[in-house]
Amino acid sequence: MLVVAALGGNALLKRGEPLTAGNQRANVQIAARSLAAIVRAGHDLVVTHGNGPQVGLLALQGAAYKADEAYPLDVLGAETEGMIGYIIEQELENALNHDRPVATLLTQVVVDQHDPAFAKPTKFVGPVYTQEEAETRAEAAGWHIARDGDKWRRVVPSPKPLEIPDMRVIGLLLEQGVVVICAGGGGIPVLRRDDGGMVGVEAVIDKDAASALLARQLEADALLLLTDVDAIYRDFGTDKAAAIETLTVEQARSLDLPAGSMGPKLSAAADFAATGGISGIGRLEDALAILDGKAGTCVLG
């Protein structure tokens, strides 16, 4: 079975933790053990991951330079793919006792320059702030900001992923038995020029949407969207809250979940399941159990 596993932000950094290399590596070590269990069970594996805090931190560091010296978001996305991919690759190799080759691929993802998302930034990046601090930084740097829970963060455009030009390379690696880490942070957002060439664009693609597109184009058997919550809940946050074991695509699309939490995951799960695959949402530690239908929420076409 070919499995695409999308690591949520908690796989790298738990909410409120300082964004240090040590904290990220400690969290990835836990993630690597769960991912290794999927491989040891006999499955082929492709891993994707988020990058919101990391790309936001790099953007903050870039703000220390002159405006024309700061790197754009597509370049920062490429930097985080390499940085995070390196840590996941190394820890996954260690967890597998170096029995399977693991490779990280910088992955371009084509978006539409006319996507309405460019006019309405919604994707959270970077650290959290108080409202006052966020407003001060936004005024100084020309940011868009939005509430994230009880804090505030910078938001950037998040256009819909349309195409993954690097699919042939990913396929070649899988044919050789390689565990592939790719489309990190949703991939590097690029536009197709009229001459067929590509050029980067200022945006951050939603990791779950890109993972669903990747799983569809690979004709994967399963898409796992792994986070720090054990399942999708009906009436979440109330006394009537109950975990949902199984959803049809239609049921999944009818649930109204917050865009800043489980909404994108459930949408991605439904999109992939609609093509005939199995989607699972749940805790990172339960990855293999979710795949076996023993944990999490399963979305079926």
Percentage, residues of the chain above pLDDT 90 = 67
Report the residue count for the chain. Answer: 301
Higher pLDDT, 62 or 162: 162
H or E segment to which residue 34 belongs? helix 21-40
pLDDT band at residue 104 using 50, 70 and 90 as cut-offs: very high
297-300 and 222-227 beta bridge pairing: unpaired
Global confidence as pTM: 0.88
For 274-299, the pLDDT digits (tens) are 999 999 999 999 999 999 999 999 99
* Mean pLDDT, residues 94-115 taken together: 97
pLDDT at 67: 54
Question: Among all residues, which ones are annotated catalytic?
Answer: 9-10, 123, 207, 265
Interatomic CA distance for residues 275 and 272, integer angstroms = 6
List the single range of 10-19, 96-105, 144-153 with lowest mean pLDDT: 10-19
Average pLDDT, the chain: 90
For 203-224, the pLDDT digits (tens) are 989 999 999 999 999 999 999 9
pLDDT at 177: 97
Interhelix angle 207-218/167-175, nearest 10 degrees: 60
Is residue 22 predicted with pLDDT exceeding 70? yes
* Mean pLDDT, residues 219-243 taken together: 89
* Mean pLDDT, residues 30-48 taken together: 96
pLDDT at 45: 98
pLDDT at 200: 96
Q: Domain residue spans in the chain?
A: 2-109+164-299
Please say whether the beta carbons of 261 and 228 come within 8 A. no
160 closest CA partner among 198, 121, 125, 110: 110
Domain 2-109+164-299 CATH superfamily: Acetylglutamate kinase-like (3.40.1160.10)
